[in-house]
Amino acid sequence: MLISDSQKKILSLLADGEFHSGAELAEVLGVSRSAVWKQLNGLESLGVPHAAVSGKGYRLSRPIELLDGAKILDHLDEQHRAKISSLEIHDQIDSTNTYLSSLARQNAPSGSVCLAERQTAGKGRRGRQWISPYGSNILLSILWRFQHGPAAISALSLAIGVAVIRALRRLGIDKAGLKWPNDIYSEGKKLGGILIEVAGENEGPCYAVTGLGLNLFLPEEEAGAIDQPWTDLGRIAGGRPIGRNQLAGELIDQLLKVLTGFEQTGLAAYLDEWREYDCLCGESASVFIGAQQFDGTLEGIDAQGFLLMRDADDRLRAFASGEVSFRRAFP
């Protein structure tokens, strides 16, 4: 279902979380009050519930902050703002990564940025769907072109994880960490995920579409289909409001800082910081590669970004890929 212009106008009016009468909304939209009611009911399917109280009118169940390109750019430093070739905000899209990958094949330049209020086919790791109601979270992708082939950027997702934690710490969020290879976690629960899709010549130019999904607000009813423990920034921050446009701007600023320099520095520039943010070092865990399972204690990552695990026989294994499942029950 696509959001209509009338629904977008209604959302803009109700975004403050206050009551607005049906007559006020009808006048602004130039429609009947019954048409307003129908448009509001249509928003329920987008994950935007509302309340109606006789004598008061309508209000959203919670305030929302819609994405605004100008407000986002205000939170980038001048150097990184100049690196953005385009910034698009979609009300609804299948996937920001899929969209930018399509543009990349049409020779779109580095610095193409795409955000969405809602995705219908958001992609997580191993084909999982990324769940997010309209206007609630961060759904972001950036296209960047590199000169030396996919092998030269094989550890990019680890550096991108560092960039995400840097952005969160700038906003006073210090309870987030990294789970190898590309997840953002807090106290044993998933907060966000990174998905990087690379295409191009083995030894020549290539491009990477870096996608980030980060939970700012995820209601329990929307998260019912998620098959792992999850959290959002609202819970981590203890209800302290976090501006969605500010968050998007800080994230883009830090992501661009990594993307513009990674081909020169590689993982080495981020290795110590990644290890500082590693939330599973020392934990008992299992690594799954296809049908194979390896058990042991995690010992961080090596200089190439491979995950290190010591098994019961004191053998140290290094994994270039795999799915990690940890055992400790976090509070």
d(C-alpha 316, C-alpha 311), whole Å: 7
Residue 133: the pLDDT is: 79
Give me the percent of the chain exceeding a pLDDT of 90: 64
Q: How many CB atoms lie within 10 A of CB 331?
A: 5
SS (H, E, C) the chain: CCCCHHHHHHHHHHCCCCCECHHHHHHHHCCCHHHHHHHHHHHHCCCCCEEEECCCEEEECCCCCCCCHHHHHCCCCHHHHCCCCEEEEECCECCHHHHHHHHHHCCCCCCEEEEECCECCCECHHHCECCCCCCCCEEEEEEEEECCCHHHHCCHHHHHHHHHHHHHHHCCCCCCEEECCCEEEECCEEEEEEEEEEEECCCCCEEEEEEEEECCCCCCCHHHHCCCCECCHHHHCCCCCCCHHHHHHHHHHHHHHHHHHHHHHCHHHCHHHHHHHECCCCCEEEEEECCEEEEEEEEEECCCCCEEEECCCCCEEEECCCEEEECCCCC
Catalytic-role residue among 179, 190, 244, 257: 190
Using only C-alpha atoms, what is the Rg of the chain?
21
Residue 74: the pLDDT is: 96
Nearest to 261 by CA among 269, 251, 250: 269
Q: What is the pTM of this model?
A: 0.90
Catalytic-role residue among 125, 240, 275, 328: 125
Domain 5-60 in CATH 1.10.10.10? The answer is yes
- The yes-or-no verdict on residue 223 having pLDDT over 60 is no
Residue 123: the pLDDT is: 62
CATH code for the structural domain at 280-326: 2.30.30.100
d(C-alpha 60, C-alpha 48), whole Å: 7
Average pLDDT for 226-243: 84
- By DSSP bridging, strand 86-90 and strand 112-116 are parallel
| Residues 5-48: tens digit of each pLDDT | 888 888 888 888 888 988 888 888 888 888 888 888 877 777 77
Residue 55: the pLDDT is: 83
Nearest to 258 by CA among 157, 172, 185, 182: 157
Residue 241: the pLDDT is: 84
Q: Is 327 a catalytic residue?
A: yes
| Residues 100-125: tens digit of each pLDDT | 999 999 999 999 999 999 988 876 55
| Residues 271-326: tens digit of each pLDDT | 999 999 999 999 999 999 999 999 999 999 999 999 999 999 999 999 999 999 98
Residue 257: the pLDDT is: 97
Q: Based on the number of CB atoms within 10 Å of its own CB, is 299 exposed (0-12), middle (13-18) or buried (19 or more)?
A: middle
Q: How many CB atoms lie within 10 A of CB 205?
A: 11
> What residue spans define the domains of the chain?
5-60, 69-276, 280-326
Q: What is the mean pLDDT of the chain?
A: 90
CATH code for the structural domain at 69-276: 3.30.930.10
| Residues 133-191: tens digit of each pLDDT | 788 899 999 999 999 989 999 999 999 999 999 999 999 999 999 999 999 999 999 99
Q: What angle do CA 274, 275, 280 make, to 5 degrees?
A: 110
d(C-alpha 287, C-alpha 309), whole Å: 9
Q: Which residues of 70-106 are buried (b: 16+ CB within 10 A; e: fewer)?
A: ebbbebbeeebbebbeebbbbbebebbbbbbbebbee
Q: Is 170 a catalytic residue?
A: no
Question: Comparing 110 with 61, which gets the higher pLDDT?
Answer: 110
Residue 225: the pLDDT is: 59
